[in-house]
Amino acid sequence: MSLKSPLRRVTYLGSAKGGSSHWYAQRVTAVALVLLGLWLVISLASMGGASHEHVVAWLSSPVAAAFAVLLVLTAAWHALLGLQVVIEDYVGDKGTRLAVLLVVKFTFAVAAVIGVLAVLRIAFGVAG
């Protein structure tokens, strides 16, 4: 006997009925990243140099800063969705899986916020 109700015992054992949003977000961010990725390559190639002044000059443009923020957020999201699938596929133990997922999610959340703040700091002209 258990205190768990029959409903609680079967919940989460079958389809969660929420997978399609994960699948769909992965594709939408993929299409966005085709554009943002090519934008990054072209931007780096046409920056004129790799010095601090060159980076600051590049991100001083509002359009470049906006695309850079979008790139950071979209890439972090896409990477997170992809890594989640890989981890769920290859990490069998439930406890380890949850721990690894949390570490990866926290890491990318922190990286995304740092990336956005870094771009904004440069865009607002307070990066020296």
Instruction: With CB under 8 A as the rule, give the number of residues binding another protein.
Output: 39
Of the candidate spans 1-9, 14-22, 93-101, 114-122, the one that interacts with another protein by CB under 8 A turns out to be 114-122
| Residues 107, 56 contacting (CB under 8 angstroms) | no
Q: How far apart are the first and last CA of the chain?
A: 67
Q: Under DSSP, is residue 51 helix (H, G, I), strand (E, B) or coil?
A: coil
Separation of alpha carbons 64 and 15, rounded Å: 42
Of the candidate spans 2-10, 14-22, 41-49, 94-102, the one that interacts with another protein by CB under 8 A turns out to be 41-49
Q: Which of 70, 91, 100, 127 binds another protein (CB under 8 A)?
A: 127
Q: Which of 10, 52, 66, 102 binds another protein (CB under 8 A)?
A: 52
| Residues 56, 127 contacting (CB under 8 angstroms) | yes
| Residues 54, 113 contacting (CB under 8 angstroms) | no
CB of 118 to another protein, least distance (A): 4
Separation of alpha carbons 40 and 72, rounded Å: 11
Sites of contact with another protein (CB under 8 A): 27, 30-31, 33-34, 37, 41, 44-50, 52, 55-56, 59, 68, 72, 75-76, 79, 82-83, 86, 107-108, 111-112, 114-115, 117-119, 121-122, 127-128
